């Protein structure tokens, strides 16, 4: 009990938590200036598990119903803990939460061979389609949206994300575009629709492939928007443009130079590439153990310096870099709200334990982007310094044009 008291007392710099042990005894921690919660431990081992490995076991004990929030949500608890110890300020609280981190270069640079990559992708993306329909927007954009206004709807922000990315590709009609990690096909279909380009989308998810191909057929563009089940390392050919959204997180640090080298090989001499990825502020570290075990096995979030070092070695020029600081937090809040509203459906689809796992994953993502070390990077790469105009004006003009072009059919529908 003394160890858990020290852990909570150190982490909690505002608000208050009343902790109820399995024998009914109660202790209250925190200064009390803010949110107040009551947390109950269902058995004697919960406290030991939390002290032994808080980063993994706060999620697992909640998922298993052993850590119970009696008058709030798991998001409330994580906000109290992480919000009181933001990455910018560092401090003892953050060092205590780093228990259980992966140590050593060998473990950090885990290998993601093609067969393993496919298994990792299937673990998450080959869940039931109905699950994703419950919390994503209608276009199934499963990546950070772009909020020109935090009050915008999720649908508007995801549409704006696609326009924001398309504008950075400097597209021209008839170009051949490669979409690495094409998901359910939304971005590929969008690029064809607003910019009159041909797109090849590649994925490692069989379920996503089925949906993407069906959507292209239904839109009458299957001859121009095609999808294949293939690892990017095995692809051949040349493309005028390459886009990759939310896929780089699964590449693995050991493969960054290989990824950039392959992209350079696939990219035309005057080509443009846009990479959109979750990243880390400061130095990259070990993956979150709960997310790595239960949600995205084999993932790694890059630092900007890691991305730069790997791309520089193959002489890809980072011609434009943008950091999205809070956009994913806004996105995740929409997803969590929708998933919570659909709780009964998700429980019927899987079970209570799965829902709590999913709830913790989304809530943990929110605090990671609001107070932790996570952000999003959008980096434009070129092989030739003359490939794009010398100012960014072309991006702003194209973005507005794509928004107008996309809004017209959506309003008509």
Per CATH, the number for 107-412 is 3.40.50.150
Answer with the residue of higher pLDDT: 299 or 11.
299
pLDDT at 10: 72
Look up residue 338 and give its two tokens.
């929708």
Distance separating alpha carbons of residues 51 and 73, to the nearest angstrom: 21
**What does pTM read for this prediction?**
0.90
pLDDT at 111: 62
Q: What residues does each domain of the chain span?
A: 2-100, 107-412
pLDDT tens digits, 73-83: 999 999 998 88
The percent helix, strand, coil of the chain (3-state, each to 5) is: 50, 20, 30
pLDDT at 411: 57
pLDDT at 123: 45
The model's confidence at residue 105, banded by pLDDT at 50, 70 and 90, is: very low
pLDDT at 117: 56
pLDDT tens digits, 109-164: 456 666 555 555 444 445 788 899 999 999 999 999 999 999 999 999 999 999 99
Mean pLDDT score of the chain? 90
**Beta-carbon contacts of residue 167 (< 8 Å; ≥ 6 apart):** 394, 395, 396, 397, 398, 399, 402
Q: Can you tell me the mean pLDDT for 373-390? A: 98
pLDDT at 176: 98
Answer with the residue of higher pLDDT: 294 or 14.
294
pLDDT tens digits, 44-86: 999 999 988 988 999 999 999 999 999 999 999 999 988 878 8
pLDDT at 100: 43
Whether 265 shows a pLDDT value over 80: the answer reads: yes
pLDDT at 166: 98
Contact 214, 186 (CB under 8 A): no
pLDDT at 98: 56
């Amino acid at each position: 009990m003394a160890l858990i008291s020290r852990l909570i007392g150190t982490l909690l710099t505002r608000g208050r938590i009343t902790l109820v042990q399995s024998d009914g005894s109660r202790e209250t921690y925190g200064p009390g200036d803010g949110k107040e919660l009551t947390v109950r431990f269902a058995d004697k081992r919960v406290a030991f598990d939390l002290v032994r490995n808080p980063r993994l076991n706060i999620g697992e004990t909640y998922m298993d119903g052993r850590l119970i929030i009696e008058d709030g949500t798991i998001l409330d608890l994580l906000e109290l803990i992480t919000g009181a110890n933001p990455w910018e300020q560092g401090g003892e609280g953050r060092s205590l939460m780093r228990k259980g981190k992966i140590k050593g270069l060998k473990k950090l640079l885990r290998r993601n061979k093609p067969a393993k990559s496919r298994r990792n992708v299937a673990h998450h993306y080959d869940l039931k389609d109905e699950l994703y329909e419950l919390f994503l927007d209608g276009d199934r954009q499963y990546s950070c949206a772009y909020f020109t206004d935090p009050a915008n709807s999720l649908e508007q922000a995801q549409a704006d994300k696609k326009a924001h990315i398309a504008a950075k590709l400097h597209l021209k009609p008839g170009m051949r575009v490669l979409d690495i990690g094409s998901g359910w096909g939304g971005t590929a279909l969008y690029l064809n629709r607003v910019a009159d380009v041909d797109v090849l989308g590649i994925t490692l998810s069989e379920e996503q492939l089925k949906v993407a191909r069906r959507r292209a057929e239904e839109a009458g563009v299957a001859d121009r928007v095609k999808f294949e089940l293939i690892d990017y390392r095995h692809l051949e050919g040349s493309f005028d443009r390459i886009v990759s959204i939310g896929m780089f997180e699964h590449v693995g640090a050991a493969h960054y130079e290989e990824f950039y080298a392959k992209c350079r090989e696939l990219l035309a001499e005057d080509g443009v590439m846009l990479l959109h990825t979750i990243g880390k502020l400061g130095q990259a570290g070990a993956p979150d153990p709960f997310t790595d075990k239960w949600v995205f096995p084999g993932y790694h979030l890059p630092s900007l310096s890691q991305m730069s070092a790997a791309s520089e070695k193959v002489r890809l020029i980072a011609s434009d870099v943008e950091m999205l600081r809070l956009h994913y937090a806004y996105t995740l809040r929409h997803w969590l709200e929708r998933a919570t509203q659909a709780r009964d459906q998700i429980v019927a689809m899987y079970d209570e334990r799965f829902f709590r796992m999913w709830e913790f994953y989304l809530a943990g993502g929110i605090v990671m982007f609001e107070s932790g070390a996570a952000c999003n990077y959008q980096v434009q790469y070129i092989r030739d310094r003359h490939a794009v105009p010398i100012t960014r004006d072309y991006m702003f003009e194209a973005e507005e044009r794509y928004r107008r072009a996309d809004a017209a059919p959506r309003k008509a529908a």
